[in-house]
Amino acid sequence: MVICLLNQHELNRTTINTIKNMSDKSKELFASIKLVNDRLNFHGIVEGCEPVSIDYTPPLGDNLGYTSLELLLLSLSSCLGTALLTFLRKMGKTITDFKIDSHGIRKEMHPTGFSKINLKIIILSPDVTDLDMKKIIQLSEETYCPVFAMVKGNVDIETTFEVRREA
Amino acid sequence: MVICLLNQHELNRTTINTIKNMSDKSKELFASIKLVNDRLNFHGIVEGCEPVSIDYTPPLGDNLGYTSLELLLLSLSSCLGTALLTFLRKMGKTITDFKIDSHGIRKEMHPTGFSKINLKIIILSPDVTDLDMKKIIQLSEETYCPVFAMVKGNVDIETTFEVRREA
């Protein structure tokens, strides 16, 4: 009975890790940040992923990683990308290349979050039409992109797209 | 005049890169995601940072990186951590260790974003008091944490803390 050899602290940690290992990501998610210098550099940690370096800009931080707001742009754009690609594949479309560029404009007064986010989707495909894109962007923004739903009403988001036939 | 040798496409790209290099992160931020396999694995890209792998869970994805919702937890917790540490240092406090564990519970129906996020701050310090923490958490959530402001009203966020005197 290995568990008997653990002290209370280790026991708590073991229990937490067991819960995390068993967790169903469709229901709940876990993440941690840990300060790694004497300024504002954190390591972001999720089980099974390489740690991601997070930092703030000078003079408070040292530009040693992503800012919190850049992570928000990646969260939002990857959420939209996941929904769009899932729809397109269900429709039997061929996707040769796919990217989303995001650009966030910050408010001047605190809290200095984004007043506006521009998302530009660039897709390379022989058969995706502009009408397909319009439909699935609307569906994603209204229902199938959870990160959109979490910032809805607080940030103005403009989504544009470009379907290319050739690289 | 190197610029004269560029075609229109290269010229546009050069102009965009020049703008990005010159961009002031206190005003605007840029990020991109690029699909890197034939499923849902993206690379998140921000100039000056190591690319971050982003993926979805099986069966649609392959667990090859952070999910969009895990990135949101890292964005929110690092934003809060940055605000709190900045306040504590202005107050002349000593911080020996600092971490935030986050746990998000998803909605069962689309959009399956978080209905609730629990943030647990664990700080090791000889002189930070519970009252200090209560004050600066309130200030951060109300005014100084932009990611909080962007999800406000859409997600229930519970913040707890533990000040430890010894590791």
Instruction: Give the whole-angstrom CA distance, residue B137 versus residue B83.
Output: 9
% of residues, chain A, pLDDT over 90: 85
Burial class (CB within 10 angstroms; exposed 0-12, middle 13-18, buried 19+) of A26: exposed
Threshold 0.95, pTM exceeds: no
What are the distances in angstroms from CA A116 to CA A106, A112, A150, B140, B142? Answer: 7, 11, 15, 21, 20
**B97 and B44 fall within a common domain:** no
Instruction: Give the whole-angstrom CA distance, residue B133 versus residue A125.
Output: 52
ipTM over 0.90: no
Instruction: Give the whole-angstrom CA distance, residue B132 versus residue B121.
Output: 13
- How many other C-beta atoms can be found within 10 angstroms of the C-beta atom of residue B162? 11
Say yes or no to pLDDT of A54 above 70.
yes
CA geometry: angle at A70 spanning A152 and A147, to 5°?
30
**A6 and A88 fall within a common domain:** no
**A45 and A82 fall within a common domain:** no
**A74 and A154 fall within a common domain:** yes
Instruction: Give the whole-angstrom CA distance, residue B134 versus residue B3.
Output: 56
**B115 and B141 fall within a common domain:** yes
Q: Which domain holds residue B149?
A: 68-164
Nearest to B33 by CA among B19, B43, B41, B23: B43
Kindly determine whether residue A146 and residue B99, on different chains, have CB atoms separated by under 8 Å: no
pLDDT in tens, A100-136: 999 999 999 999 999 999 999 999 999 999 999 999 9
| Minimal C-alpha gap between A134 and chain B (Å) | 19
pLDDT in tens, B119-132: 999 999 999 999 99
Query: Residue B18 phi/psi, 5° resolution?
Result: -65, -45
- Residue A145 makes CB contacts below 8 A (sequence gap 6+) with A79, A80, A82, A83, B111
Say yes or no to pLDDT of B16 above 70.
no
Kindly determine whether residue A48 and residue B63, on different chains, have CB atoms separated by under 8 Å: yes
For A25, the closest of B57, B75, B76 (CB atoms) is B57
pLDDT at res. A21: 52
% of residues, chain B, pLDDT over 70: 87
Strand partners for B116:
B105, B156
**B75 and B86 fall within a common domain:** yes
Instruction: Give the whole-angstrom CA distance, residue B146 versus residue B152.
Output: 10
pLDDT at res. A73: 98
**A80 and A145 fall within a common domain:** yes
CB B162 within 8 A of CB B123: yes
**B14 and B40 fall within a common domain:** no
For B28, the closest of A63, A103, A149 (CB atoms) is A103
**A78 and A9 fall within a common domain:** no
**A144 and A72 fall within a common domain:** yes
**Element of type H or E holding A19:** helix A8-22
